[in-house]
Amino acid sequence: MTAPPLTLYLAAPRGFCAGVDRAIKIVEMALEKWGAPVYVRHEIVHNKFVVDGLRGKGAVFVEDLDDAPSDRPVIFSAHGVPRSVPAEARAREMVYVDATCPLVSKVHIEAERHSQNGRQMVMIGHAGHPETLGTMGQLPPGEVLLVETPDDVAKLEVRDPERLAFITQTTLSVDDTAEIVAALRARFPAIVGPHKEDICYATTNRQEAVKAMAPAIDAMLVVGAPNSSNSRRLVEVGRRAGCPYAQLVQRADDIDWRALDGISTVGITAGASAPEVLIDEVVDAFRARFAVTVEKVVTAEEHVEFKVPRVLREPA
């Protein structure tokens, strides 16, 4: 039988961002420097394939610092941690390496600066997400108020409407965040925003690539993990931009082929913590079923690199 024709549109940029690449490198370099085991508080990035690979090399993932022994190095994940976590590590005289993405650290610094200037913070983010917990944990309880929707803005009870500032999680939907910011500015005209947008370049670029290809495709697959905020946002952005069907898949085995019956065009992208090998795996799965033509949808080029912490660049 002749395989049916299919055009695959590959979004660019897609997959790993500089912060994820740096975080993974930090774990690998820590294992080289100190040997196994090296402990990591929370998944270093939200991708099972990546985490399992590092676990195979000797990384041990824990959710609480209490679960890591004091005599082994510990790494804090790319999402950032509350200020109390490194304080506890210092109190226990632990060797620790902070793999927080520098663009998340920038938001932490903004929050602290606004607090020092007497402003109460409003954070736009997802409740319970480790980045949100880490950012809110930079200031004392009550100093950061969380909103997830424009409706939440209407319910806010603030200390002084004239002394407010807002920050955002770095992996949000650009369009959803703009709506919430508009609601904040409408209710609190004096509120101060960041000098530069908190949503990171990688999140923005991946969403723009999805918007560019969504109207031209029958379906879209986003390679990423269910607990990856930026991956889930890509699915939402694709649907809103006109793609009739969008699915989040961790691996090629997760593809719902019945839902793709009769299609002729598919877009593929990946969240910022998904490695290229998993995208290749998905492409190969399509090649096994279709006569595939690949087209690239390029909307930006990324050349960002972040240095690893100095402690890993020094000899043991």
Q: How many domains does the chain have?
A: 3
Measuring CA to CA, which residue among 220, 193, 198, 162 is closest to residue 80?
Answer: 198
DSSP state letters, 131-162? HHHHHHTTS-TTSEEEE-SHHHHHH---S-TT
115 and 160 share a domain? yes
Active site residue 88: no
pLDDT the model gives residue 188: 98
pLDDT the model gives residue 197: 83
Average pLDDT (215-235) is 96
Q: Is the pTM higher than 0.85?
A: yes
Average pLDDT (210-239) is 96
Torsion sign across C-alpha atoms 80, 254, 10, 234: negative
The pLDDT tens digits of the residues spanning 279-312 come to 999 999 999 999 999 999 999 999 999 999 999 9
Which of 101, 119, 150 is where one domain is finished?
101
pLDDT the model gives residue 245: 97
Catalytic residue, candidates 112, 131, 236, 295? 131
254 and 283 share a domain? yes
Instruction: Write out the residue range of the structural domain in which residue 128 sits.
Output: 103-187
For residue 246, tell me if it sits in a domain: yes
The pLDDT tens digits of the residues spanning 80-117 come to 999 999 999 999 999 999 999 999 999 999 999 999 99
Torsion sign across C-alpha atoms 19, 21, 24, 25: negative
214 and 292 share a domain? yes
For residue 61, tell me if it sits in a domain: yes
293 and 206 share a domain? yes
215 and 258 share a domain? yes
Which of 154, 187, 220 is where one domain is finished?
187
State whether residue 277 is helix, strand or coil: helix
Burial class (CB in 10 A: 0-12, 13-18, 19+), 130: buried
- Contact between residue 286 and residue 8 where contact means Cβ atoms under 8 Å apart: yes
Provide CB contacts within 8 A for 157, sequence distance 6+. Answer: none
Question: How confident is residue 30, by pLDDT bands cut at 50, 70 and 90?
Answer: very high
Distance CA 120, CA 158 (A): 8
pLDDT the model gives residue 274: 97
58 and 73 share a domain? yes
